[in-house]
Amino acid sequence: MISKKMTTALNAQVTAELYSSYLYVSMSAWLQAEGHQGAAHWMSLQAREEIYHVIKFYNFILDRGGQIRLGPIEAPPAKWKSALEVFEQAHAHEQKVTALIDSLMTLAKSESDHASEIFLQWFVTEQTEEEANTLATAQKYKLAAGQGAGLFMIDQELAARTLTVLVKDALTGVPPTAV
Ligand SMILES: [Fe+2]
Ligand SMILES: [Fe+2]
């Protein structure tokens, strides 16, 4: 049985992951409106990936006999100065999420909640990937320094993203169309 404290903390993470998705939808919309079609595509897949994170936490809470308590989700920002700023903020956001996962892990360890610890390990690894992806893209935009050809190349690269690996990794077996 999962503790009340851990259930509350995991429910807060469900809300945090929903906010991540909300933020990335907003970023995707801004990128699209500004003509960064590839980046908008990348960000909309990132928004969908966050929904998979929600589902993982949601299923884990229910599987352990906990109850789902959804909290309010604040409105994300809607405007950025550049695609570089979007990815810098996405990177900063992922660093914050990493800190949230770390404190969940600390709580699991303090409660000797081994099931939660093993479950959270996936997210510890995932956060390294999330930070690395957003950082690498921000660095590319920095190198392009707002120049047309560079921006076009980055956009083409981001346009190629797929969610294949994620679908294979999803614990739920729910196909993306059913999310
Ligand atoms: Fe996430
Ligand atoms: Fe990821």
Q: Is 179 among the domain residues? A: no
Q: Taking the mean position of all CA atoms in its chain, how far away is CA 25?
A: 11
pLDDT, mean of residues 1-5 = 93
Task: List for the chain the helix, strand, coil content (%; round to 5).
Answer: 75, 0, 25
> What is the distance between the alpha carbons of residues 151 and 140, in angstroms, rounded to a whole number?
9
Average pLDDT score over residue span 19-30: 98
Residue 135 domain-assigned (yes or no): yes
34 and 83 Cβ atoms separated by less than 8 Å: yes
| Å from CA of 50 to ligand 1 middle | 5
Q: List, as ranges, residues with CB under 5 A of the ion ligand 1.
A: 17, 20, 50, 53
In a domain, 168, yes or no: yes
77 located within any domain: yes
How many structural domains comprise the chain?
A: 1
Q: Which helix (H) or strand (E) holds 22?
A: helix 4-33
Does any domain span residue 178?
no
In a domain, 82, yes or no: yes
Full residue range of the structural domain in which residue 45 is found: 4-173
Average pLDDT (32-49) is 97
Separation between Cα atoms, residue 27 and residue 8, nearest integer Å: 29
Q: Residue 79 in contact with residue 73, Cβ under 8 Å?
A: no
CB-CB neighbours of 147 under 10 Å: 10
State the CATH number of the domain containing residue 115.
Answer: 1.20.1260.10
Quick check: helix, strand or coil at residue 70?
coil
Is the full-model pTM beyond 0.95? no
Q: What's the pLDDT tens digit per position in 44-79?
A: 999 999 999 999 999 999 999 999 999 999 999 999
pLDDT digits (tens, 9 = 90+) for 116-170: 999 999 999 999 999 999 999 999 999 999 899 999 999 999 999 988 544 434 4
Compute, in angstroms, the gap from residue 41 CA to the centroid of ligand 2: 15
Domain assignment of residue 57, yes or no: yes
